[in-house]
Amino acid sequence: MPDSQATNFALHGFEPYQAKADEEYMNDAQREHFKNLLQAWKKELMEEVDRTVSHMKDEAANFPDPADRASQEEEFSLELRTRDRERKLIKKIDKTMELIDADDYGFCEACGVDIGIRRLEARPTATLCVDCKTLAEIKEKQVGG
C-alpha cells in the first residue's frame, strides 16, 4: 500500500477495507466503511475549525510594531484560507454522505463504472473514475493554457 493511503488512514484511524472474494461492489459493509471514514474526517476538520477560532481569539493582539501586526495578520489570513478550503471540503463530504445514503456512491458520475475501493480510500470524495478524471484534467489543461 502506498504511503499516502497509509497516512490517510492513520489520520482518520481507519484501516483499509479488505474486500472478501466474490464480494459485491459497494455492498452494505463497504458503504458503512466509507460513511464512518467520512464522518471521522468531517469531525477532524470541525475540530480544526474550533482550534483555529480559539487560537485566533487567544493570539489576537494589537502590536504597536507595524511589522509584528503585519506578521500576525498574514498568519491569520493563511489560517482563514486553510479553513475556507476545509469548509468547502466539509460540504463535499456532506454531499458524498448523501450519495452513500442514496446508494449512488462509488460509481463514476460521468460514465457509471465502478470508481474502485482503492481510489475511494485515497480520495473518499471522488466522483469520477480514473479514466474520466484523467480526461477532465486533459481538457482543463487544453482550455486553460
CATH number for position 19: 1.20.120.910
How many domains is the chain built from?
1
| Domain extent for 88 | 3-105
Kindly state whether residue 114 falls inside one of the protein's structural domains: no
Q: Does the pLDDT of residue 137 top 80, yes or no?
A: yes
Cα(29)–Cα(127) distance, integer angstroms? 19
Kindly state whether residue 120 falls inside one of the protein's structural domains: no
pLDDT at res. 7: 45
Q: pLDDT tens across 18-27, in order?
A: 888 889 999 9
Kindly state whether residue 40 falls inside one of the protein's structural domains: yes
Kindly state whether residue 78 falls inside one of the protein's structural domains: yes
Kindly state whether residue 144 falls inside one of the protein's structural domains: no
DSSP codes joined into one string, 3-39? HHHHHHHHHHT-PPP-PPTTPPTT-HHHHHHHHHHHH
Cα(49)–Cα(51) distance, integer angstroms? 5
pLDDT at res. 96: 97
Smallest CA-to-CA distance from 96 within 44, 88, 110 is with 88
Residues composing the chain: 145
Kindly state whether residue 44 falls inside one of the protein's structural domains: yes
pLDDT band at 31 (very low <50, low <70, confident <90, very high): very high
DSSP codes joined into one string, 38-106? HHHHHHHHHHHHHHHHHHHHHH----SSHHHHHHHHHHHHHHHHHHHHHHHHHHHHHHHHHHHHTT-TT
* Range in 16-30, 45-59, 131-145 with the lowest mean pLDDT: 45-59
- pTM listed for this prediction: 0.79
Residue 139 amino acid letter: K
Q: What is residue 110's three-state secondary structure? A: coil
User: Residue 52 is placed in which grid cell?
Assistant: 483555529
pLDDT band at 37 (very low <50, low <70, confident <90, very high): very high
pLDDT at res. 145: 60
Q: pLDDT tens across 49-98, in order?
A: 888 877 777 777 777 888 888 888 898 899 889 889 999 999 999 999 99
Higher pLDDT, 11 or 27: 27
Kindly state whether residue 43 falls inside one of the protein's structural domains: yes
Q: Does the pLDDT of residue 3 top 60, yes or no?
A: no
**∠ CA(100), CA(106), CA(112), 5° rounding?**
120
